[in-house]
Amino acid sequence: MAGRTEGRGPTPKSDLAIGSSGAVALIPGSSNPGLCREITGKLGLPLCAVELKKFADGETSVIVAESLRGKDVFIIQSTCTPVNDMLLELAFLIDCAKRVSARRVVVVIPYFGYSRQDRLIGRSPISARLVADLLQLAGATAIVSIDLHSNPITGFFSIPVDNLSANAIFADYLKAEGLEGEGITVVSPDVGGVKRARNLARLLHSELAIIDKKRPRPNESEVASVVGEVEGRTCILLDDIVDTGGSLCGAAKALKDKGARRVLACCTHAVLSGDAVARVAGSNIEKLLVTNTIPLKKPHPKIIPLSVAHLLAESIRRIHLDLSISELFEKN
């Protein structure tokens, strides 16, 4: 057996008041330990002691080493690479919390894997729906995520789902760089992302453009046209996921071909599969802003990671205290 254990340790310094720590349990999955530590630092609460092991045959073992009875349990786990391992580990953690009489089991999934398989295409499953069913069957009572690939995913659940946005985090960085107002165009790389791009354009008081593209095959796209004013302007591409980087880099080239002065990109979830980092490095993209919903495996000067810890910590605080989190949506 090989394993990893998260201990309680000293209580970190808190930015956000959450009340009695005895009423809340923060359980870390193994997908993103750095983000888990940041969140606990914001809340001033320790992580629960959890032992996560792999048996010799690859089976996952989960042991929570303290009582969860009557507590609001928040399980923090992105279902990123290795996706299936992280998903099954999450389901086991949920089941564990439910079986030991937790009051609520809130699943904080910064990055929701399988979200792109959200509709029926030929003879394929709707995998995002099956994942939603699994989490609910395991015992989840609520879900918190960031920039789900599509809004219909929230309808796959019969429990509350808070789909937060990273737009304000990107906007704060861009404003600090002087990238707002006149001369800026926020660009949606496809029609499906227009609402997300429009919201960022509003935060930056900028214009909006749309790239019309077609997808001949999964992970491949071709730019058909650019709708909107981009010539001589600084263009900010906005998408929820950067995977292989092919679509994003192709969109950046199309914008430069249309006369864009500069091209930056903002993508919440840095999947960055295969040669994606090298592809971005050699592209027309000046900077790629991402968040730490997924740990950044290959740092690069062009790729700027921004933290979602405060956003998630504030959500956890409000859920535990039964406060509205609508303000978090209104800011994005």
- Per domain, the residue ranges of the chain are 2-165+310-330, 167-306
User: What local confidence, expressed as pLDDT, does residue 225 receive?
Assistant: 83
* CA dihedral sign, ordered 316, 21, 61, 36: positive
- At position 280, the amino acid (one-letter code) is V
Q: At what angle do helices 309-320 and 33-43 cross, to 10 degrees?
A: 50
How far is Cα 28 from Cα 76, in angstroms, rounded to an integer?
5
Sheet holding 72-76, edge to edge: 24-28, 72-76, 104-109, 142-146, 161-164
Interval 259-292: pLDDT, tens: 999 999 999 999 999 999 999 999 999 999 999 9
pLDDT band, very low/low/confident/very high, at 332 (cuts 50, 70, 90): low
Interval 145-195: pLDDT, tens: 999 999 889 999 999 999 999 999 999 999 999 999 999 999 999 988 999
pLDDT band, very low/low/confident/very high, at 330 (cuts 50, 70, 90): low
- At position 325, the amino acid (one-letter code) is I
- One of 3.30.960.10, 3.40.50.2020, 3.40.50.150, 1.10.1040.10 is the CATH number of 2-165+310-330, namely 3.40.50.2020
Interval 217-245: pLDDT, tens: 665 666 668 999 999 999 999 999 999 99
Predicted model pTM: 0.91
Exposure letters 66-84 (e unless 16+ CB within 10 A, then b): eebeebbbbbbbbbbbebe
Q: Which CATH class for the 167-306 domain?
A: alpha beta
- Residue 124, class by beta-carbon neighbours within 10 Å (0-12 exposed, 13-18 middle, 19+ buried)? exposed
pLDDT band, very low/low/confident/very high, at 1 (cuts 50, 70, 90): very low
pLDDT band, very low/low/confident/very high, at 22 (cuts 50, 70, 90): confident
How far is Cα 33 from Cα 57, in angstroms, rounded to an integer?
24
In contact, 234 and 143? CB cutoff 8 Å: no
Q: Would you name the residues annotated as active-site residues? A: 213
How far is Cα 325 from Cα 311, in angstroms, rounded to an integer?
11
Whether 2-165+310-330 shares its CATH topology with 167-306 is answered yes
Backbone angles phi, psi at 31, to 5 degrees: -75, -35
In contact, 17 and 46? CB cutoff 8 Å: no
Q: How many CB atoms lie within 10 A of CB 41?
A: 18
